[in-house]
Amino acid sequence: SQQGEEDPQALSIQEGENATMNCSYKTSINNLQWYRQNSGRGLVHLILIRSNEREKHSGRLRVTLDTSKKSSSLLITASRAADTASYFCATAPRKGAQKLVFGQGTRLTINP
């Protein structure tokens, strides 16, 4: 079963605008990761934020984590056509089997 719920399911914006995607989860986590998937291809790791971190940056990406609300957001600034892809959050549990649990993903379309 999917632990992560992503919102929105689909997002379409103009090139140059910022894109924000949200992820909610249910159990205690060690870390939360964001991955990108271009159509039908393998997932590419974007960023990892640990449970004791609140915000992290990587280039045009900004990730926040609110463990009290069990939620995370991914912000892509100054979007480009090449950012068109599906974005998934994945949680790593604090206890138990060490597996990533993925959300359903947000399909992002950047219009030129």
Partner 1 sequence: DSGVTQTPKHLITATGQRVTLRCSPRSGDLSVYWYQQSLDQGLQFLIQYYNGEERAKGNILERFSAQQFPDLHSELNLSSLELGDSALYFCASMPGDSSYNEQFFGPGTRLTVL
Interface with partner 1 (CB under 8 A), residue from 23, 25, 33, 110: 33
Q: Which burial class, exposed, middle or buried, applies to 75 when counting CB atoms under 10 A from its CB (0-12, 13-18, 19+)?
A: middle
Q: In angstroms, what is the minimal distance from the CB of 99 to partner 1? A: 5
Give residues with Cβ within 8 angstroms of 50, minimum separation 6: 30, 31
In the complex, minimum distance from the CB of residue 50 to partner 1, in angstroms, rounded to a whole number: 8
CA 41 – CA 60 distance, rounded (Å)? 22
Does residue number 44 form part of the binding site for partner 1 (CB under 8 A)?
A: yes
Please pick, from the candidates 20, 24, 31, 64, the single residue that binds partner 1 as defined by CB under 8 A. 31
User: Cis omega (within 30 of 0) on the bond before 93?
Assistant: no
Q: How far is the CB of 101 from partner 1 (least distance, A)?
A: 7
Q: Is 111 in the site for partner 1 (CB under 8 A)?
A: no
